[in-house]
Homo-oligomer: A and B are copies of this chain.
């Protein structure tokens, strides 16, 4: 696992990789990241991830570092060096502002950003049959920062939320802010009600997930009714279907919410149609 990683222009065994404790990623969570799926040995929609990376770097004033072609060369070299040729894997990429010679809050000019990338198995990716067994989620208050539309590494609230889920016999938390669904610790949320697929509209509180975007595109292309609109806790609890989406989990049906079954407690027909369309994308 993580045999050969990429760090600042070099490929090396993970055990040899090191960063300075003065890296602002370590001191201040001053950085952004991407997670790109690899099916067999092919990157899945890397251009969408790279467009988001560019937006996120810009949002926190880290310079754009590479062209798409250069990023793809790094990712494909990692795939090659790690002999990834089967199964479901991913590229993890993190860019931080880099290390200064002292610790000060104010963003300094002209640091050299730190670029760290690796490949790993995507443990969460499952077959349709595996996904159809359904998952459990619990609701919590959204304690994250505003502007979580930027995919930043300031993830402490997210890891605490995911850990809370596991401690409560679930695999994800669905977060609410002012009684409205935002998202999960690392997924977006969809519900189905009366045949209509719904997900909260993008805002500063919601990460524009690539799987969210692909799901909406598939709904549009296949004439499946959908709406981007706010979802209340009540609407979540009374949905016919609840799904969570992410690059690694794809589209996962939540069949138990806060220890109660979602509708009849089984993965629903609209989910089944959507996951079939999604799996056909790769």
Q: Is A20 an interface residue (CB 8 A)?
A: yes
Measured between beta carbons, the chain B residues less than 8 angstroms from A118 are 103
Given the known inter-chain contacts A18-B18, A29-B154, A155-B154, please indicate yes or no for A146 contacting B147, CB distance below 8 A.
no
Contact with B along A11-55 (1 / 0, CB 8 A): 000100111111111111110000000000000000000000000
Contact with B along A95-134 (1 / 0, CB 8 A): 0100001111111000000001010100100000000000
Alpha-carbon distance A26/B156, docked complex (angstroms) = 11
Interface size on A, residues (CB 8 A): 55
The stretch of A159-167, A190-198, A207-215 that contacts the partner chain: A159-167
Measured between beta carbons, the chain B residues less than 8 angstroms from A147 are 143, 157
Alpha-carbon distance A154/B144, docked complex (angstroms) = 10
Q: Is A158 an interface residue (CB 8 A)?
A: yes
Other-chain contact of A26, B23, B60, B166 (Cβ < 8 Å): B23
Q: Is A141 an interface residue (CB 8 A)?
A: yes
The answer to whether B19 and A21 have CB atoms under 8 Å apart is yes
The answer to whether B1 and A94 have CB atoms under 8 Å apart is no
Other-chain contact of A103, B7, B92, B166 (Cβ < 8 Å): B92
Alpha-carbon distance A7/B19, docked complex (angstroms) = 13
Could you say which of A5, A105, A141, A158 has the most chain B C-beta atoms within 10 Å of its C-beta? A105
Measured between beta carbons, the chain B residues less than 8 angstroms from A156 are 28-30, 60, 145, 152-154
Alpha-carbon distance A71/B105, docked complex (angstroms) = 25
CB nearest to A120 among chain B residues: B102
Given the known inter-chain contacts A141-B146, A143-B145, A144-B145, please indicate yes or no for A29 contacting B103, CB distance below 8 A.
no
Other-chain contact of A21, B7, B30, B103, B145 (Cβ < 8 Å): B7
Alpha-carbon distance A28/B186, docked complex (angstroms) = 12
- Identical chains bound together, number: 2
- Smallest CB separation, A78 vs chain B (Å): 14
Pairs of residues from A and B, 4 with the lowest C-beta to C-beta distance, nearest first: A18-B18, A29-B29, A143-B146, A154-B154
- Smallest CB separation, A151 vs chain B (Å): 11
Alpha-carbon distance A277/B23, docked complex (angstroms) = 38
- Smallest CB separation, A118 vs chain B (Å): 8
The answer to whether A106 and B145 have CB atoms under 8 Å apart is no
Within 8 A of B (CB), among A82-100: 92, 94, 96
Q: Is A185 an interface residue (CB 8 A)?
A: yes
The answer to whether A17 and B28 have CB atoms under 8 Å apart is no
Q: Is A278 an interface residue (CB 8 A)?
A: no
Measured between beta carbons, the chain B residues less than 8 angstroms from A226 are none
Given the known inter-chain contacts A1-B102, A101-B1, A185-B105, please indicate yes or no for A30 contacting B154, CB distance below 8 A.
no
The answer to whether A163 and B120 have CB atoms under 8 Å apart is no
CB nearest to A105 among chain B residues: B162
